[in-house]
């Protein structure tokens, strides 16, 4: 009998994955697993020179995320709900966007070995947002490591996510449009999301709320 219920939250950079993960984990008393992007020593260089630093950046993230996902098997009997602000497949999506053909071949060799031991989420929440709203959030939070991110890169990344989740059938999926809500500053917006995901989800469900602000 499975004792772990695992929710993964995905979406482009800046759409609000980590913020929503923290809020849900606090609300529901869940174990929180966050992507440790600050530990990647190649990330800032990647945003400045993607072609040169893409492979190092992706390989570091792949191995780092594998370590985190492997730790999910160590179930805490008092916290059998886990919220993560990424899916393991995220790395493949970024790799497909950032790596050249030869780099992809080598990356796939490593990724195929690691993916065999990954636990699939019980529910995936995909956060969508327009490029303009995402760029505004990136600018607002003011991370120095993200200062070189461009609208073109966010456009391309959002397209990769859209194509992936259009075909996604592996687990129940909730797609949330974040353009007209602020679940960080508006408690009503957050509670709407909580009430929506608490209902049983079969297949894909869409949530397109409007903010009460």
Per-residue pLDDT tens over the stretch 198-213: 888 889 999 987 644 4
Q: Which tens digit of pLDDT belongs to each residue from 92-119?
A: 999 999 999 999 999 999 999 998 888 8
Q: Give the start-to-end residue ranges of the domains of the chain.
A: 5-207
- Name residues whose C-beta falls within 8 Å of residue 65's C-beta, 6 or more positions apart in sequence: 35, 86, 88, 90, 91
Residues 29, 79: contact at Cβ < 8 Å? yes
Structure tokens at 55: 């492979």
- Average pLDDT (134-142) is 91
When pLDDT is cut at 50, 70 and 90, the band that residue 179 belongs to is very high
For domain 5-207, give the fold: Rossmann fold (3.40.50)
Question: Residue 124: its pLDDT value, please?
Answer: 96
**Pick from 178, 184, 164, 170: nearest CA to 206:** 178
Q: What is the pTM of this model?
A: 0.89
Q: Does the pLDDT of residue 75 top 80, yes or no?
A: no
Question: Residue 5: its pLDDT value, please?
Answer: 87
Question: Residue 211: its pLDDT value, please?
Answer: 47
Which neighbouring-strand residues pair with 173?
124, 204
């Amino acid at each position: 009998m499975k004792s772990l219920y695992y929710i993964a939250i995905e979406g482009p950079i800046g759409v609000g994955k980590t913020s929503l993960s923290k809020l849900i984990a606090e609300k529901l008393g869940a174990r929180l697993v966050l992507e440790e992007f600050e530990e990647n020593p190649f990330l800032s260089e990647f945003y400045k020179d993607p072609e040169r630093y893409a492979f190092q950046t992706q390989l570091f993230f792949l191995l780092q995320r594998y370590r985190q996902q492997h730790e999910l098997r160590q179930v805490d009997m008092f916290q059998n709900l886990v919220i993560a602000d990424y899916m393991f497949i995220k790395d493949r999506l970024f790799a497909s966007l950032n790596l050249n053909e030869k780099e992809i071949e080598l990356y796939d060799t490593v990724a195929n070995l690691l993916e065999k031991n990954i636990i699939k989420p019980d529910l995936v929440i995909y956060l969508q947002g327009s490029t303009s709203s995402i760029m505004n959030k990136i600018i607002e939070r003011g991370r120095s490591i993200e200062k070189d991110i461009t609208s073109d890169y966010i456009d391309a990344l959002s397209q990769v996510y859209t194509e992936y989740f259009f075909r996604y059938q592996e687990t129940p999926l909730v797609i949330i449009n974040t353009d007209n809500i602020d679940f960080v500053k508006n408690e009503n917006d957050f509670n709407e999301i909580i009430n929506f995901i608490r209902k049983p989800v079969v297949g894909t469900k869409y949530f397109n709320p409007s903010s009460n602000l």
